[in-house]
Amino acid sequence: MSYQVDNQGYYGEFGGAFIPEMLHANIDQLAKQYKILINDDGFQKEFKSLLKDYVGRPTPLYLAKRLSTKIGARVYLKREDLNHTGAHKINNTIGQILLAQRLGKKRIIAETGAGQHGVATATVCALMGVECIVYMGKVDIARQAPNVARMRMLGAEVRPALSGSQTLKDATNEAIRDWINNPAKTHYIIGSVVGPHPYPDMVARFQSVISEEIQWQLKEHVGRSHPDYVVACVGGGSNAAGAFYHYLDNEDVQLVAVEAAGKGIDSGASAATSVLGSKGIIHGSRTLLMQTKDGQIIEPYSISAGLDYPGIGPQHAHLIATGRAQVFSATDEEALEAAMELSRIEGIIPALETAHALAILDRIKVKEDDVIVVNLSGRGDKDLATYIDYLDNNQGEHISDE
């Protein structure tokens, strides 16, 4: 069984490029050239040098002692939160901006939900001196003001997506429409392992540096390069794709994907795509998505804007369908509790997205000498307003329990 993309752009029955003809020339150019370009020595040298000197890689792999005691196994945190701009997102935007330069594209567009990918894109565009336009749902612009300000400070234009529900899926639609209108000079930097082939594979390759580092770091820590579990949160799934990448074919490693249950799987306000979704097409990819019986896409819900996506990357759909990856889901409340706990016992304030992955650790049936790697995909600064609300509403409990 292969878990990598095949020559036609599919992972099993998922993937492909279900796009209108207007996008075909651009997607075809990318599909034909991306592997050649990114495997080129010069590209790799520049990519690695920027990841080291600009992004700050390698990120540490840290044995979280107090969390380990609580879980009853050795829990390592892969500190993607310590990357420049505060999350794993920049691994992909560095790769794609280098690719865009080699394709001769002078104008960059991107979509963003919470603003993390938008900031990571605006950052690399500032670095390279190219025009940057970020589409963001009008609703998200209102609730993510600090990231909107960051993007503007970095020189990007933030364009409100006014269509549909005015959130991430609509920002993605608007970015795609922009690309249809501006095919020649524009490259679209998608922020996750979603969209038409070759995006899911390309983004996974750029994020694969995460598991590449985990391999040698774990070897130093525990004497073997593979853990028993790799745990990551999944919206579209780029941080999970990067953390799983080098372990896909090692069946000794249990891959664990954690989705956002929102207010509960059956509450009608959830983003647990693998449970609530069915096969269909979203943003040019055949995958699992949340939709009505008529095939209209449903607006998902999660407290975390980064997991608030109605689809899932096609590779993840394949990993789940084949049983290679195990899926859990965590509610808003569980994620908030996990964020508070990690902050208090390890001194690390995680992003709300990441907190979903932390929230299910005690549901894994572990043995004492098991090694669990949790991909700590982002830091929590952007979520402070949500965390402060939570603290204010749960003050009594949190002061008294220490």
DSSP 95-121: HHHHHHHHTT--EEEEEESSSHHHHHH
Residues making contact with another protein (CB under 8 A)? 16-22, 24-26, 163-164, 169, 173, 176-177, 180-184, 278-284, 291, 293-297
Taking the alpha carbons of 19, 324, 38, 82 in that order, is the dihedral positive or negative?
Answer: positive
Q: Which residue has the tokens 């490029």?
A: 17
Give the rounded distance of the alpha carbon of 128 from its chain centre: 23
Q: How far is the CB of 164 from another protein (least distance, A)?
A: 7
Residue type, 108: I
Q: How far is the CB of 172 from another protein (least distance, A)?
A: 9
| DSSP code of residue 291 | B
Dihedral-angle region of residue 198 (phi above 0 means left; psi in -120 to 50 means alpha; beta otherwise): alpha
Between 24 and 152, CB nearer to another protein: 24
CA-to-CA distance for 234 and 316, rounded, in angstroms? 9
Between 89 and 283, CB nearer to another protein: 283
If one counts every other C-beta atom within 10 angstroms of the C-beta of residue 50, the result is 20
Of 68, 80, 89, 208, catalytic? 89
The answer to whether 111 is a known catalytic residue is yes
Do the strands 107-112 and 10-11 form a parallel or antiparallel pair, or are they unpaired? unpaired
Between 7 and 400, CB nearer to another protein: 7
The H or E element containing residue 328 is strand 325-331
DSSP 23-57: GHHHHHHHHHHHHHHHHSHHHHHHHHHHIIIII-P
Between 23 and 258, CB nearer to another protein: 23
Between 115 and 195, CB nearer to another protein: 195
Q: How far is the CB of 173 from another protein (least distance, A)?
A: 6
Give the rounded distance of the alpha carbon of 214 from its chain centre: 17
Of 80, 334, 377, 382, catalytic? 377
Between 195 and 350, CB nearer to another protein: 195
Considering only CA atoms, which of 371, 333, 84, 345 is closest in space to residue 231? 371
Between 20 and 323, CB nearer to another protein: 20
Q: How far is the CB of 316 from another protein (least distance, A)?
A: 19
Q: How far is the CB of 339 from another protein (least distance, A)?
A: 32
Of 111, 213, 259, 346, catalytic? 111
Q: How far is the CB of 133 from another protein (least distance, A)?
A: 16
Q: How far is the CB of 140 from another protein (least distance, A)?
A: 17
Q: How far is the CB of 273 from another protein (least distance, A)?
A: 15
CA-to-CA distance for 78 and 243, rounded, in angstroms? 9
Residue 197 CB contacts under 8 Å (≥ 6 apart), including other chains: 5, 8, 9, 10, 15, 16, 17, 27, 31, 285
Between 26 and 217, CB nearer to another protein: 26
Measured in degrees and rounded to the nearest 5, phi and psi for residue 355 equal -60, -30
If one counts every other C-beta atom within 10 angstroms of the C-beta of residue 266, the result is 11
Q: What is the rounded (10 degree) CA torsion for 314, 262, 366, 75?
A: 90
The answer to whether 377 is a known catalytic residue is yes
Active site residues: 89, 111, 377
